[in-house]
Amino acid sequence: MHREVADIAAPVPSQIEALFALPFSDLMHRAQTVHRQHFDPNAVQLSTLLSIKTGGCSEDCGYCSQSARFPTEVESQPLLSQAEVLAAAQAAQARGATRFCMGAAWRGPKEKDLIQVAEMVRAVKALGMETCATLGLLRDGQAEQLAQAGLDYYNHNLDTSRAHYDNIVHTHSYDNRLDTLAKVRAAGLKVCCGGIMGMGESRADRAQFLAELAALDPPPESVPINLLVHIPGTPLSNNAALDPIEFVRTVAAARITMPTSFVRLSAGRSQMPDHLQALCFLAGANSIFYGDRLLTTPNPESDADLKLFEKLGIQPLALEKPLADRKTAEA
């Protein structure tokens, strides 16, 4: 669904900082109120991730296990076959995932890679799942190729504020990322764009990061909020952990600034107790990565997630549609 009101101005960083500064109960109340205006508060969307090409990446993103520049324990793996990807998608669908996201450790795909990924997208789409890919920076025409193959979403994160980005990544720029996001939009794909919290950024950086996302026109349909997974061997491996309440505040601020977007509680859930995840759902998170692996690190077992959902009275969302769209469809 898009914002029907062209006159909603994107919030500026100072307004978002003011949200962060609210008493916690007031912030949560604001987030819940907004959430319930646009979504069923008891439904959470499930996406499963698969790393289709692992490690050996030319880039130097300081958080990443897959950069060839850092001495991490990740074993590189070339592009999987279509049969391997299809089998993983079928298994994810059987567990209840509605979206399958294929991730590759590339600066960006080469033409011959893209032809193969397009075939994977076609095959996964034919299962009746929503498709998502995260392949790095795109060149002209590549987003269109993916759209033609049936890709629904392209994930490409801004990850942090513009100012902090240069402390974390030196091999490509914030503007490179924005340029790919524009190509994705122009090809008619839905945008999945979020970031990582706990990379040594300040609260002002978190507010600026959310302002960048909200200013995308339209804002991303899907906003993954990751908590840094500390990977031994990476420059950020010894970063101080982010205060969990500050993480919940970030989820709430994302919900309020992007009322109709799905906000995904993403990497970091393996390190989060149930009550912290419950607070994130209360703050307006309504999507998760589902399945026991993210790309190279563990994620909670599906059974544990289903148990948590049962405790909280959460239903997996069958179709990713905001409440208003579903009401129209039912009328």
Question: Which amino acids are annotated catalytic?
Answer: 57, 61, 64, 101, 132, 192, 264
136 to each of 180, 194, 267, 301, how far by Cα in Å?
8, 14, 18, 27
Using CB distances below 5 to 8 A depending on partner kind, what does residue 67 bind out of ligand DTB, ligand SF4, ligand SAM, none? ligand SF4
3-state secondary structure 86-106: HHHHHHHHHHCCCEEEEEECC
Binding mask 39-58 for ligand SF4 (x = CB under 6 A): ------------------x-
Which of the residues 252 through 311 are near ligand SAM (CB under 6 A)? 267, 295
SS3 of residue 312 by DSSP: helix
**Residues constituting the chain:** 331
Distance (Å) of CA 278 to CA 143, 191, 314: 36, 26, 10
What gap in Å lies between CA 140 and CA 183, rounded to an integer? 7
User: Which tokens is 246 given?
Assistant: 């500050």
Host H or E run for residue 154: strand 153-155
Is 222 among the residues that bind ligand SAM (CB under 6 A)?
A: no
Residues in 24-43 that interact with ligand DTB by CB under 6 A: none
Per CB under 6 A, which of residues 91..110 are in contact with ligand SF4? Answer: 105, 107
Instruction: Work out which of 34, 43, 61, 294 binds ligand SF4, going by CB under 6 A.
Output: 61
Q: Is 100 in the site for ligand SAM (CB under 6 A)?
A: no
Please identify which residue in 28, 97, 288, 294 interacts with ligand DTB, judged by CB under 6 A.
294
- Provide φ and ψ at 2, rounded to 5°: -105, 165
- Residue from 297, 302, 323, 326 touching ligand DTB (CB under 6 A): that is 297
The residue among 38 and 177 lying less far from ligand SF4, judged by its C-beta, is: 177
According to CB under 6 A, which residues from 134 to 153 bind ligand SF4? 136
Select the span of 15-23, 205-213, 221-229, 308-316 touching ligand DTB (CB under 6 A). Answer: 221-229
Closest CA to 245 of 283, 211, 207: 283
**Token code pair at residue 90:** 């079928």
**Site residues, ligand SAM (CB under 6 A):** 63-64, 66, 103, 105-106, 134, 136, 156-157, 159, 196, 226, 228-229, 231, 267, 295
